[in-house]
């Protein structure tokens, strides 16, 4: 884009944002890219370098080599924790999608005051503290809480049910955390879809279910993939909610890593576990990105 | 397509139930803060302000609260200008620079916080500076930067950059044009970003716990310890205090977002 003295032709809003000086020929010290420097000067030493240090410690801590990785992969505990983390992340993502997709669709179609309540609930829940939310579930699902009393009143034996300190509790808490992100991702794409396509499909004789599957879902796919990605990746490595609502006997990988803090002897082991989670997270992001592009 | 009234009615009931699931459980901490029981009981057997007074008389809790507010304020004071500059770069710089810088800026959103927290913990051990609250502030600022960047980028995207060109033509310096033309317009967006940064820090227990958990616990760390190791009747009070603070931030940011929309609307 070159700057000219003639009046600019009417640009689309998208182009308009890209108009400002690119400084292709300008001096390097006037490049707008330099505005990145202060933020990067914070991010690199605080996040990038520590992560690299951790990765290298996983190979160099006494006795070095692949020792800590071998130990991690030979451990039945680690294997069980990894399988559980994936199973819980998968369950939470699936339920969040099953709730979030219709929720976004309903919020878009509902009359104004109800739509405001539905969007407001999403915004408010994003601002509620995670630790407060997990704690609230502890009292609601816990021993003597309203849910247990209601089940007893219905004549259901609650002695064998573990509503908290169990994977069930973790799923309840994590879905509450995940749904708003899923709704935001889907609603964002929904806002940009063209309703006329659906109308056209209806004119051509497509029923409501057929329309959803063949017209609407393909249009919403980028939002669904974005929502699935953020919910799956955050659940996989989450620490606080599983630590409060789960049980120490049924840990997730984030808790296992957290429990290494303070045990000064096991730098290598902790680093290896964190590196494994890092690689698995990267793998999940990559796979979901592939899925989104197709 | 207009859905049938029955379908819509079922949909609305479903939507309101989900909205209740998202919001109502969290609000139960407020009546529990005024409970007469020292156990976790909902609904509370009776109401009193006993725990509320005890909370504000217990220095271990008030210290944690003050510490949290100071950390959040400092982190937001660092993250807001850095994030605003980076957002300006995203909108104006060459695409090649963006491709290099953006993944690093967005890293805290993708990498689980246990991983970056654990890395930072190892580095403080290697440098023999454990328990340092300054490191917590820097880490929180870093965690908040993506939120500031996203919020400010959104308001810059609807900003008309021809205004800057007009200012420069009339002799304003680059910095002058930024402070006197851009900032007044995107100011509310920057303010919303700052509130997000405060929120991120106030609700961040993991890094704070790894770095300064034993020596200088923030409010979430103190709460987390009380939830997992003891059943403390002061936790609901702490939770209510935190909820009131975050709701205030929410209302503030909604107002600021509305203001941004009004100012950038051309």
Is residue A18 over pLDDT 80?
no
The DSSP annotation for chain B comes to -PPPHHHHHHHHHHHHHHHHHHHHHHHTHHHHHTBS-SS--SS-SSB-SHHHHHHHH-HHHHHHHHHHHHHHHHHHHHHHHHHHHHHHHHHHS-HHHHHHHHHHHHHHHHS-HHHHHHHHHHHHHHTT-TT-HHHHHHHHHHHHHHHHHHHHHHHHHTS-THHHHHHHHTT--HHHHIIIIIHHHHHHHHHHHHHHHHHHHHT--HHHHHHHTTTS--HHHHHHHHHHH---TTHHHHHHHHHHHHHHHHHHHHHHHHHHHHHH--
Burial class (CB in 10 A: 0-12, 13-18, 19+), A59: middle
With vertex at residue A78, the alpha carbon angle to CA A75 and CA A84, rounded to the nearest 5 degrees, is 140
Residue (of B239, B235, B243) closest to B38 by Cα position: B235
Task: Identify whether B53 is part of a domain.
Answer: no
**Percent of chain A at pLDDT above 90?**
44
CB-based contacts of B77, cutoff 8 Å, min separation 6: none
One digit per residue, the tens of pLDDT, for chain B of length 266 reads 566 788 888 999 999 999 999 999 988 888 888 887 776 666 777 788 888 888 888 888 899 999 999 999 999 999 999 999 999 999 888 888 888 888 899 888 889 999 999 999 999 888 887 778 999 999 999 999 999 999 899 888 888 888 888 998 998 888 888 888 898 888 888 998 999 999 999 999 999 999 987 788 999 999 998 887 767 788 888 888 988 888 888 888 888 878 877 777 65
pLDDT of residue B109: 86
Number of A–B residue contacts, CB under 8 Å: 285
A178-228 pLDDT, tens digit per residue, is 999 999 999 988 888 877 887 888 888 888 888 888 888 888 888 999 999
Distance between CA atoms of B20 and B15, rounded to whole angstroms?
Answer: 9
Pick the closest to residue B85 from B216, B179, B220, B14 (CA basis): B179
Contact criterion met (CB < 8 Å) for B205 and A240? yes
The CA-atom distances, in angstroms, between B100 and each of A118, B85, B104 are 38, 16, 8
Domain with B75 in it: what CATH number? 1.10.3720.10
Do B119 and A130 make contact, defined as CB atoms within 8 angstroms? no
State the sign of the Cα–Cα–Cα–Cα dihedral B73, B65, A241, A105: negative
pLDDT at A244 over 80: yes
Mutate to test the interface with A, among B8, B14, B22, B139 (most CBs of A within 10 A): B22
pLDDT category of residue A19 using cuts at 50, 70 and 90: very low
Contacts of B204 in chain A (CB under 8 A): none
Residue with tokens 């770095």: B211
Closest CA to A255 of A263, A264, A247: A247
Q: Mean pLDDT over all residues of chain A?
A: 84
Q: Classify residue B31: in a domain, yes or no.
A: no
User: Which residue in A135, A145, A233 has the most chain B C-beta atoms within 10 A of its own C-beta, making it the best mutation to test that interface?
Assistant: A135
Residues from chain B that touch A54, judged by Cβ atoms under 8 A, are 115, 118-119, 122
* Residue B98 placed within a domain: yes
Q: Which residues of A touch B104 (CB under 8 A)?
A: 40, 43-44, 47-48
Model pLDDT, residue A231 = 94
pLDDT at A8: 43
Q: Is residue B59 part of a domain?
A: no
pLDDT at residue number B206: 92
Residues of A in contact with B25 (CB under 8 A): 133, 136-137, 140, 176
Residue B122 lies in domain:
65-264
Q: Quick check: A73 pLDDT over 60?
A: yes
Q: Tell me the pLDDT tens digit for each residue of A158-185.
A: 777 788 888 999 999 999 999 999 999 9
* Number of domains into which chain B is organized: 1
- Among A231-245, A276-290, B38-52, whose mean pLDDT is lowest? B38-52
- pLDDT at residue B1, as a whole number: 57
Q: Is the pLDDT at A293 greater than 60, yes or no?
A: yes
In this prediction the ipTM stands at 0.86
> What is the SS3 assignment for chain A?
CCCCCCCCCCCCHHHHHHCCCCCCCCCHHHCHHHHHHHHHHHHHHHHHHHHHHHHHHHHHCCCCCCHHHHHHHHCHHHHHHHHHHHHHHHHHHHHHHHHHHHHHHHHHHCCHHHHHHHHHHHHHHHHCCHHHHHHHHHHHHCCCCHHHHHHHHCCCCCCCCCCCCCHHHHHHHHHHHHHHHHHHHHHHHHHCCCHHHHHHHHHCCCCHHHHHHHHHHHHHHHHHHHHHHHHHHHHHCCCHHHHHHCCHHHCCHHHHHHCCCCCHHHHHHHHHHHHHHHHHHHHHHHHHHHHHHC
CB contact residues (below 8 A), chain A span 173-192, against chain B: 176, 179-180
Asked whether residue B20 is assigned to any structural domain, the reply reads: no
A287 contact B CB<8A: no
Residues of A in contact with B40 (CB under 8 A): 138-139, 142
- Second CATH level (architecture) for the domain A72-256+265-293: Orthogonal Bundle (1.10)
Residue A245 · residue A173 · CB < 8 Å: yes
Contact between chains at A20 and B92 (C-beta distance less than 8 A): yes
Q: Which chain B positions have a beta carbon within 8 Å of A285's beta carbon?
A: 110
Note whether B198 and B204 are within 8 A (CB).
Answer: no
Contact (CB, 8 A) for B116 and B108: yes
Neighbours of A127 (CB within 10 A): 20
Query: For A95-143, how does the pLDDT look when each residue is reduced to its tens digit (9 = 90+)?
Result: 999 999 999 999 988 888 999 999 999 988 888 889 999 989 988 888 7
* pLDDT score, position A241: 93
pLDDT digits (tens, 9 = 90+) for A261-271: 877 667 888 89
CA atoms of A164 and A135, how far apart (whole Å) = 11
C-alpha pair distances (Å), A31 with each of A35, A37, B152: 8, 11, 20
Residue B22: predicted pLDDT: 94
Please report the pLDDT score of residue B175 as a whole number. Answer: 85
Buried b vs exposed e over B20-36: b needs ≥16 C-beta within 10 Å? ebbbebbebbeebbbbe
The answer to whether the beta carbons of residues B17 and A119 sit under 8 Å apart is no
Instruction: Assess whether pLDDT exceeds 80 at residue A9.
Output: no
CB contact under 8 A, B114 and A274: yes
């Amino acid at each position: 884009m070159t700057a000219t003295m003639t009046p600019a032709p009417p640009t689309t809003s998208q182009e308009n944002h890209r108009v400002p000086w690119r400084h292709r020929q300008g001096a390097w010290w006037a490049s707008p890219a330099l505005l990145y420097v202060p933020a990067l000067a914070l991010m690199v030493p605080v996040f990038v370098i520590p992560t690299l240090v951790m990765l290298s410690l996983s190979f160099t801590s006494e006795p070095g080599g692949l020792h800590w990785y071998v130990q991690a992969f030979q451990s039945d505990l680690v294997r069980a924790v990894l399988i559980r983390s994936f199973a819980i992340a998968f369950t939470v993502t699936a339920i969040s999608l099953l709730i979030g997709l219709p929720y976004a669709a309903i919020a878009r179609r509902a009359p104004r005051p109800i739509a405001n309540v539905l969007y407001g609930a999403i915004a408010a829940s994003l601002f509620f503290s995670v630790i407060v939310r997990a704690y609230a579930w502890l009292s609601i699902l816990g021993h003597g809480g309203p849910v247990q009393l209601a089940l007893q009143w219905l004549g259901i034996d609650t002695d064998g049910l573990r509503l908290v300190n169990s994977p069930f509790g973790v799923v309840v808490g994590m879905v509450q955390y995940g749904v708003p992100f899923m709704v935001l991702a889907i609603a964002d794409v929904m806002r940009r879809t063209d309703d006329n396509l659906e109308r056209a499909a209806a004119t051509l004789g497509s029923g409501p279910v057929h329309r959803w599957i063949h017209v609407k879902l393909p249009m919403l796919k980028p939002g669904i993939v974005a929502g699935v990605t953020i919910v799956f990746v955050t659940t996989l490595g989450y620490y606080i909610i599983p630590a409060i609502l789960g049980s120490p006997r049924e840990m997730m990988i984030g808790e296992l890593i957290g429990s290494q803090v303070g045990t000064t002897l096991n730098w290598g082991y902790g680093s290896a576990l964190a590196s494994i989670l890092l690689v698995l997270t990267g793998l999940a992001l990559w796979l979901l990105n592939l899925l989104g592009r197709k | 397509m207009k859905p049938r009234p029955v379908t819509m009615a079922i949909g609305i009931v479903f939507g309101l139930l989900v909205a209740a699931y998202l919001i109502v459980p969290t609000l139960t901490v407020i009546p529990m803060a005024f409970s007469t029981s020292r156990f976790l009981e909902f609904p509370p057997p009776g109401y009193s302000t006993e725990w509320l007074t005890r909370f504000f008389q217990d220095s271990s809790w008030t210290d944690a609260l003050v510490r949290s507010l100071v950390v959040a304020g400092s982190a937001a004071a660092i993250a807001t200008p850095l994030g605003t500059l980076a957002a300006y770069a995203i909108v104006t710089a060459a695409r090649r620079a963006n491709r290099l810088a953006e993944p690093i800026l967005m890293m805290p959103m993708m990498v689980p916080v246990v991983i970056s927290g654990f890395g930072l913990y190892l580095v403080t051990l290697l440098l023999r500076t454990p328990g340092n609250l300054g490191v917590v502030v820097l880490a929180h600022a870093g965690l908040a930067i993506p939120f500031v960047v996203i919020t400010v980028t959104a308001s810059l995207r609807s900003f008309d950059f021809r205004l800057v060109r007009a200012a420069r033509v009339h002799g304003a310096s680059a910095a002058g044009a930024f402070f006197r033309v851009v900032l007044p317009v995107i100011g509310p967006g920057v303010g919303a970003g700052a509130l997000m940064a405060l929120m991120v820090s106030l609700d961040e227990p993991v890094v704070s716990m790894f770095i300064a958990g034993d020596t200088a616990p923030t409010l979430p760390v103190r709460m987390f310890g009380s939830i997992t190791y003891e059943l403390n009747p002061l936790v609901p009070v702490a939770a209510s205090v935190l909820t009131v603070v975050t709701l205030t931030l929410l209302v503030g940011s909604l107002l600021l977002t509305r203001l941004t929309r009004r100012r950038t609307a051309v």
